Chain A
Amino acid sequence: MSHHEAHPLPEPPGRIALPGAVPGLAIALVLVGGAALGWAFTTDAQLAWSSYLIGAFFALGLGVFGAAWLAILYLARGNWSVTMRRIPEAMTAWLLPGGVLALAAGLGAHSLYHWSHADVVASDPLLLHKSPFLNMPMFWALTGASLLLWVVLGAALVGVSRRQDREGGIGPSRTARTLSAVFLVVFALTLSIVSFYFLLSLDAHWFSTMWAVLVFTDIVQTGTAFVAIVASWLILTGRLKGFLNENHLHSLGKMVFASTGFWAYIYFCQHMLIWYANLPEEMVYFLKRSENGWLPYLLILPILKFVVPFLLMLPRDAKRNPRKLIPAAAIVVFAQFWELYVMVGPAMGHGEHSAHAHLPVVELAATLGFLGLFVLVFGWALARHEAVPLKDPALAECLDYHS
């Protein structure tokens, strides 16, 4: 069409490396996290493994979000996001190392999971009933297979994009859409498995039909927030000048905002149904998080994860201005750590030995360590390829995007 000739392609940005201070900071975080975990392993195995699980799952969520986000955008033809596609692509690079690290949490099953003790299961009818699912061989097989599927399908999704970088044309876009449909079905099932084994089975007596969708919401909220931080940085530094502007950021900000609202909806749904029915086997989850000093940690969660980011991101300008979006997104990312702490921390120990609430120092250090490692892998993957998919047929539409 004639009017597209009015916009000559901006100067291609080449490859983009994270600014020098970021890898340095990330290495420092890895060292701090490693040291904290190392200290914890020599003193308190339960603290160490719970911190490890929080950090590993936090980073794994960011990694798998990359693949899920690619799939969602391909399938929904979210052409507004073409110029920021490299961000989720680089996030999927974490799936292999992050998947292995997350799987390693199974080595600490004895400290983490009540159901991994054969003697406890033998004397507990409920756990015995669940033991065909909750046992270590099944844990390794099902979580391992799920993580492997993520690695393979994530690599395939990125691979299609690489093919388009070489060949151009609409063909790879079509392949990517088919692959995305396959991945999202697989993702729905495997995320349920992974979230059941790693997190839900911490409270092995308890169950929640909202669990998988809650963890999915967490992953989308945190992941979009992470992408928003990177995209904001790219806009602020002008690295993708002409390719990425406040219109693209606006739509991305709306996704962070929407998933923030969706989180409140899902978390409240889980809470209200349990509160209404008032069944002992369901109430135990919130009772446990109201005793032993956990109540303040539970009550801070909706404030951090919903109230504050919701109010911060409510104005239109807060989603278009990178300087305003970065702090709101950073709170969302921190809130994800908080939620994992409220999921994992109170589930440690049982009966008289139930864990008492404490400031999550080791947990935070471990999570920052995993985040640092994630950022290093992310930055490495981001710098490997041209920062914009120049041969995507939808590029022109993306450059013209208004929101």
Chain B
Amino acid sequence: MFTPVSKKGVLGHFCEPDEALAAAAKVRDAGFKHFDFLTPFPIHGMEEAMGKKRSWIPWVTGVLALCGILFAQGLQNWVMIFDWPMNFGGKPFWSWPSFVPITFEAMVFWAALGSALVAIVAGKRDTVPQPPPMEIETGATVDRFVLWISATDPKWSAEETPAFVRGLGANGVRLVDLEGGSDA
């Protein structure tokens, strides 16, 4: 349930969202997988630039919506027709129009709540190893667009990767190494 943290990697930041987008595309094209951008607001087009695939969460939403429909229909039909039938204004026990609002609400409730929970859990599990929180520039929540490449990436090289990030035009590039190595 906890966000994975990598103790080693490189941080650098950009001042404009467009620079961040261009840099993300270059990091993607260089073949890196364990990298992330920490930005003060969502940047349109970042998913494509980082090479992220479409999320599978909509399928969860769809399946949960169908489950919600089945649950509400099952419950109402069972209660209103078989378990505790009551006469409302002389209407038939099977009064489908009165079931529709509940079905709709249950669909929305199951789909929305379920998607949010699954997204939170899956987001923690599927994210790339993050930088140690105290190492991140505070500007990442204000006006800086922070690039992080984790040392867990197969393409990582302690010598070349910081130079590569510097070559992208990043500012304040620095190597993070909390593993206690003396060669940092």
A209 at the interface (CB under 8 A from B): no
Residue count of chain A within 8 Å CB distance of chain B = 14
**Could you tell me if B18 and A3 are in contact, using CB atoms closer than 8 angstroms?**
yes
B interface: dominant SS: helix
Closest Cβ of chain B: how far from A229's Cβ, in Å?
Answer: 26
A2 at the interface (CB under 8 A from B): yes
Residues in A with CB closer than 8 Å to B40 are: none
B116 at the interface (CB under 8 A from A): no
Closest Cβ of chain B: how far from A150's Cβ, in Å?
Answer: 35
Residue count of chain B within 8 Å CB distance of chain A = 14
B126 at the interface (CB under 8 A from A): no
A292 at the interface (CB under 8 A from B): no
Binary per-residue interface labels of chain A (269-283) against chain B in the complex, 1 for a CB within 8 Å, 0 otherwise: 001100110100000
B86 at the interface (CB under 8 A from A): no
A interface: dominant SS: helix
A268 at the interface (CB under 8 A from B): yes
Residues in B with CB closer than 8 Å to A401 are: 44
Closest Cβ of chain A: how far from B80's Cβ, in Å?
Answer: 15
Given A278-B89, A402-B44, A402-B45: A3 and B100 interface contact (C-beta under 8 Å):
no
B16 at the interface (CB under 8 A from A): yes
Residues in A with CB closer than 8 Å to B4 are: none
Closest Cβ of chain A: how far from B172's Cβ, in Å?
Answer: 20
B17 at the interface (CB under 8 A from A): yes
**Could you tell me if B98 and A3 are in contact, using CB atoms closer than 8 angstroms?**
no
Q: List residues 1-26 of chain A with CB under 8 A from any CB of chain B.
A: 2-3, 6
Q: List residues 268-306 of chain A with CB under 8 A from any CB of chain B.
A: 268, 271-272, 275-276, 278
Interface residues of A (CB under 8 A from B): 2-3, 6, 268, 271-272, 275-276, 278, 316, 400-403
Interface residues of B (CB under 8 A from A): 16-19, 44-45, 54, 58, 89, 91, 97-98, 100-101
